[in-house]
Amino acid sequence: MKILVTGSDGFIGKELVKELKKLKHTVIEFDLSKGVNLLKETDLNALKGVETVIHLAAVIDERENLDLMREVNVEGTELLLEKCIKFKIKKFIYLSTVGVMGDITKQANELTSINPKTNYEKTKAEAEQKVNEFQEILPITIIRSALVLGPNKYWKQIINLVKKGFPLIGKGNNSFQIVYYKDLISLIIFCLDNKETENETLIIAEEKGKKLVGIYILIQKALGIEKKIRVVPVFLAKIYAFFSRNPLLRQEYINRLIRERNYSTEKIRNLGWLPKYSTEQAIKETI
């Protein structure tokens, strides 16, 4: 089929485009780096003749201006949806985040209340609402992804900190369920021609999550490091973050690390999809 992918030059986008082309789909790569803008109506004429849209594009960096984040993540999504109706798109797949549920205290599923905390999460929750408003006239699928593990800048920085023996922030007893990027791409492709995923919201995460301390230990093991883990209390880490220039030690990143991440994958399992990679395999491959 003919598929348009927004955010096609992003980490997930690039890998998804490769897989779609391997499957002989015709792919329209739509990304700001390619000279096309989600906010320009004329650029969205690229939708002509397209059957499916996979919408990955978003501003995710909390340091960005909130107005820009909202303009791209919410208004850009709404404009794209309107153009999809005009060009009679047959399916719309939207990549969201489990972050729209905010801070959870027990296992969350697709029925858990929306309670976003950060600006990014708030704009993604608002965009989800826009997507759902179109479901009676356009078959849509919302994928709420757990934190994505893979060979990107974010995880490279984390792995380097572990390599240097940087202490674990907090006791690390919080659930830290993530998803390998290859599994996320696999689910997106699974949804392409699966009618049961239409007009549904789906959480994707690894099947059996680890504790944060377990992730740290697995990274150490994959690096061949055998050292006792040092621990620093959260409040001290936040004081240090106030003075540090390390981008991974900003307040929002510390909050991301200590957040409870425990998600039910029962819905996608019942639809017949299972993640292929264990946490151990994913970390080993990433390193």
Digit-coded pLDDT (tens) for 210-231: 999 999 999 999 999 988 999 9
User: How does DSSP classify residue 108?
Assistant: B
Q: So what's the pLDDT on residue 248? A: 62
pLDDT range class, residue 247, cuts 50, 70, 90? low
Measured distance CA(267)–CA(108) in Å, rounded: 12
Spans of all domains in the chain: 2-147+178-205+264-273
Please provide the size of the chain in residues.
287
Beta bridge partners of 5: 29, 54
**Tokens read off for 136:** 């009676």
pTM of the model as a whole: 0.94
Tell me which residue has tokens 């849209």.
53
For 177-205, give the DSSP string: --EEHHHHHHHHHHHHT-GGGTTEEEEE-
Mean pLDDT across 252-266: 89
pLDDT digits (tens, 9 = 90+) for 174-222: 999 999 999 999 999 999 999 999 999 999 999 888 999 999 999 999 9
- Tell me the Ramachandran region of residue 102: left when phi exceeds 0, alpha when psi lies from -120 to 50, beta otherwise: left
Residue-wise pLDDT tens digits, 115-153: 999 999 999 999 999 999 999 999 999 999 999 999 999
Give the C-alpha separation, 17 to 12, whole Å: 9
pLDDT of res. 253: 76
Question: Quick check: 106 and 56 in contact, CB under 8 A?
Answer: no
Task: Please count the other Cβ atoms lying within 10 Å of the Cβ belonging to residue 172.
Answer: 19
CATH 3.40.50.720 given to domain 2-147+178-205+264-273: yes
